[in-house]
A = this chain, B = another copy of it.
Amino acid sequence: MSDHVYKKLELVGSSPESIEAAVQNALSRAGKTIRNTRWFEVVETRGYIENNKIDHWQVTIKVGFTLDS
């Protein structure tokens, strides 16, 4: 594993349910076009409000994936 090169993308996922679901939604979308996603790092957590309720979470992540050599 010491000879891999990885690329990191910054994505923002959303979900009305939870921080975890917002991250999973970003990963599911990323998986349509990127192979070999390996890890993510949460960069920012925020959300939007309607009538004093959390309407949806919006979580920014960096996703790391292996570049095919």
Q: Interface on A for B, CB 8 Å cutoff?
A: 1-16, 18-20, 23-31, 37-42, 44-49, 51-57, 60, 62-64, 67, 69
Contact B38 A49 (CB under 8 A): yes
Cβ contact within 8 Å between A8 and B6: no
Residues of B near A12 (CB, < 8 A) are 4-8, 64
Taking A20-B19, A60-B8 as contacts, is the C-beta distance between A2 and B55 under 8 angstroms?
A: yes
Contact of A3 among B1, B25, B45 (CB under 8 A): B25
Is the pair B46, A27 in contact by a Cβ cutoff of 8 Å? no
Return the chain B residue nearest A7 by Cβ: B11
Residues in B whose Cβ lies below 8 Å from that of A39: 46-49
